[in-house]
Structure 1
């Protein structure tokens, strides 16, 4: 199979688990926002913000390290995997033990002294998910995308089912049949804790499904190899941690920086967290692409046409991301019903966050320069610059603009990181990306969004009608400019297929 076609097909398969599966999970947002007031949902947003930081730390960058070292001819892939997985298990067991011991002072520090159990449940979720990261990486390296997707979908389905069971069925049973078994399972005092319990059960079951991937542990833990692995991988922790600052810090610090009382700040956090979910389609596509793209970039690096392939991947990636941006913003009057009425006052942040995530996706593509040249420490510095920018802009803008300041800070950070990474990449690993065409598509997306907003708000045009027309116009331009020429080149390529078998040095 053509490598680019294989990358696209695997992105689609991974998308079954991340895009389709998590979109189903995304449907829980109406349940949460119609069940809990904004101040309580703010607690969920805050905890998941903290979880993002710890998830990066608890994987130690070993996913990328495993991909890099397992492709080295002087090392056995099973030994690399066993060493990385064994270390992850030990480290995460130590983490959970620490949470259990210090749960009460930690809960008091976070201003939840009445619910120290939240920390224990969340610590267990983080540990289970971190340990599962290596088995999933192994499935990705073996191109077992369908098994990967199947396990992810089962986990998501179980989490959704348990959320509905606790928050709908058991709660209703408590009102209608107070002596029933289901009614006894529901305690109103637990409240949002049922969201955490559902995720904990789903994470535990996922790990059970991954048990066949733990057989490689019999190869043991090579301490010398572990040192080399960590030397390569730990800068990825800095990169990931800084990236998580850019992605999650706003929801972690909003309640401390908003200029209102605690109850109002938590309400604002809940609104922002719910509206952030409306940018999830972009995030999920980027995640699915990352799952397929990272193994592809490493495996394809030695080919003569690798850089050309990377440039093509970037162009079509941006084309699809702009499509997602337009799909959500042009039909925002439909998407807004995924959150309760109380939360819709924050819809203005959605286009900003979508564009921010689009730049994040471009940065993910650009990151191949430091991964393929083993300059992960330089990549860490780029992420740290972004993190410093995020922290500074949030501290500056949140007291002035509220949660909109957080959205603009996210966009500014990812745009700056993209520019810096592109400049460094052109020096250390130059790829001739079609910058002009990429910029044109970004500008086209913004113009169509701005035109739609003006025609709807100022001229009173029907939102879905003009939105459909503008989306069709975008697809027509893409078809004429980049799909038709691509199809036109396919036939001549087949005529010269035998030449593709020539050794690289003769081309």
Structure 2
């Protein structure tokens, strides 16, 4: 149990490093929905879809691969050095290629050529900071990790307020930049923040003697390439809808859909926070006694917290949406939120379950599972968006992540059995889903009834987990 307390403590620290900056960044949603029209917000969304896609390509699974080999290799300095040189070299080469093909790529990706150089600069800078941030995580330096993350987002938010807010905008600073559209300010703010972050992590490029080990590189590449393919499939699962909707339903609808999708960020933040602490923990404790039992307990409590998040956000969605979204024109897509929340909870469970193929070096299975999810997403969206509109996107996301979760569980039982408490996990998922969907879709978001459901759910959890919770809280 002391191991679990250590894990939860580390996860909370790393979680704050992710959640706090993202919550601060989340403050931009009211600003954007108050300043931008739906089609302008859609343009912002499409820009960052492309950024996400290239981020996966340029890191080519090296982050997870670094965790794996740093934790098991004796010469850790050589692993760090090889990873740094690898990403530095490929980033420079890929950057040159992207800039030389500006006209062709910007047209193919529907990116305004005026924004293209900014886009390439952002993805190159983010590729360079992958290993320094991974090094901070794997060596247990959450305070420094958190500080840099918070500095990054404070710069982004501050510059956005200066550039976009009529109340606080500083005209002299705004005039420093020649922009083609107001949305370009958001990209400039991101670029400036990325430059500053690279400066802050630059000492880690000098922290070790730069030695490139071809043998380690080949092993890391073999491990990482399936992770990259899985990452690309994940980007498709997360963003294909936002890329496809403008062609079928128009940019105004896509702007509304993208804004309402942001409300599900609470579940996304929880998942990302968990992964920050969990991934290094899983690798570092894989050889410990009762490791599988520890993993099982972690998944159960992850599901409990995620299920509570699903119920809370769904019940109080009217209040949350009124704070986040400033223009009523965006609220036409609000019905997607409970479905997207549940889908992301399934994704979080999948990430927990995926430890089996990472610890057994069968990352190709993660690639296969993610490709199945991507195929479902693309097929479902292409067929059903023209028929039922943007709700098809939410259903596609839920089906894809739900199936990925189930496939990973079945395969994990064969290759790396973990004694998950399937009955409790299924029960919590079932109750939270029923309470959320009944409150939202059947009783028209009745907050009073939803609060009663929430209290009942909390009571059920407290009763069923009373012994473990007492032991976890009282154990030193």
Shared fold, TM over 0.5: yes
Q: Tell me whether 1:378 sits opposite 2:365 in the alignment.
A: yes
For 1:297-446, list aligned pairs within 5 A.
297-337=282-322, 338-339=324-325, 340-446=327-433
Contact 2:354 2:408 in 1 (8 A): yes
CA distance, structure 2, for counterparts of residue 347 and residue 284 of structure 1: 19
Contact 1:45 1:251 in 2 (8 A): yes
Contact 2:439 2:450 in 1 (8 A): yes
Q: Which residue of 2 aligns with 1:466?
A: 449
Instruction: Give the CA deviation at 1:332.
Output: 0.7
For 1:17-28, list aligned pairs within 5 A.
17-28=17-28
CA distance, structure 1, for counterparts of residue 456 and residue 153 of structure 2: 35
Contact 2:267 2:306 in 1 (8 A): yes
Contact 1:65 1:229 in 2 (8 A): yes
Q: Tell me whether 1:229 sits opposite 2:229 in the alignment.
A: no
| Gap change, CA 1:188 and 1:124, over 3 Å in 2 | closer
Q: Which residue of 2 aligns with 1:477?
A: 460
Instruction: Give the CA deviation at 1:97.
Output: 2.1
Question: TM-score scaled by structure 2?
Answer: 0.95
Contact 1:69 1:80 in 2 (8 A): yes
CA distance, structure 1, for counterparts of residue 81 and residue 342 of structure 2: 40
CA distance, structure 2, for counterparts of residue 45 and residue 186 of structure 1: 22
CA distances 1:411-431 after superposition (whole Å, capped 9, x unpaired)? 000011111111100000111
CA distance, structure 2, for counterparts of residue 21 and residue 121 of structure 1: 22
CA distance, structure 2, for counterparts of residue 342 and residue 223 of structure 1: 55
Q: Which residue of 1 aligns with 2:98?
A: 99
CA distance, structure 2, for counterparts of residue 293 and residue 418 of structure 1: 17
Q: Tell me whether 1:206 sits opposite 2:181 in the alignment.
A: no
Contact 1:236 1:380 in 2 (8 A): yes
Q: Which residue of 1 aligns with 2:211?
A: 220
Please give the secondary structure, in 2, of the residue aligned with 1:71: helix
Q: Which residue of 2 aligns with 1:12?
A: 12
Q: CA RMSD in A?
A: 2.0
Find the partner of 1:137 among 134, 137, 143: 134
| Gap change, CA 1:415 and 1:187, over 3 Å in 2 | same
Q: Which residue of 1 aligns with 2:268?
A: 283
CA distances 1:380-399 after superposition (whole Å, capped 9, x unpaired)? 11111111111111111111
Q: Which residue of 2 aligns with 1:152?
A: 149
133-142 or 14-23: bigger deviation: 14-23
Paired residues, number: 474
Contact 1:62 1:229 in 2 (8 A): yes
Instruction: Give the CA deviation at 1:275.
Output: 0.8
Contact 1:92 1:131 in 2 (8 A): yes
Contact 1:166 1:186 in 2 (8 A): no
Instruction: Give the CA deviation at 1:216.
Output: 3.3
CA distance, structure 2, for counterparts of residue 433 and residue 245 of structure 1: 29
CA distance, structure 2, for counterparts of residue 379 and residue 141 of structure 1: 22
Q: Which residue of 2 aligns with 1:502?
A: none
CA distance, structure 1, for counterparts of residue 470 and residue 209 of structure 2: 52
Q: Which residue of 2 aligns with 1:168?
A: 165
Unpaired runs of 5+ residues, structure 1, are 175-180, 495-507
CA distances 1:93-126 after superposition (whole Å, capped 9, x unpaired)? 22222232222333333445xx313121111111
CA distance, structure 2, for counterparts of residue 330 and residue 186 of structure 1: 43
Instruction: Give the CA deviation at 1:315.
Output: 0.3
Find the partner of 2:240 among 246, 249, 254: 249
Q: Tell me whether 1:128 sits opposite 2:111 in the alignment.
A: no
Instruction: Give the CA deviation at 1:235.
Output: 1.1
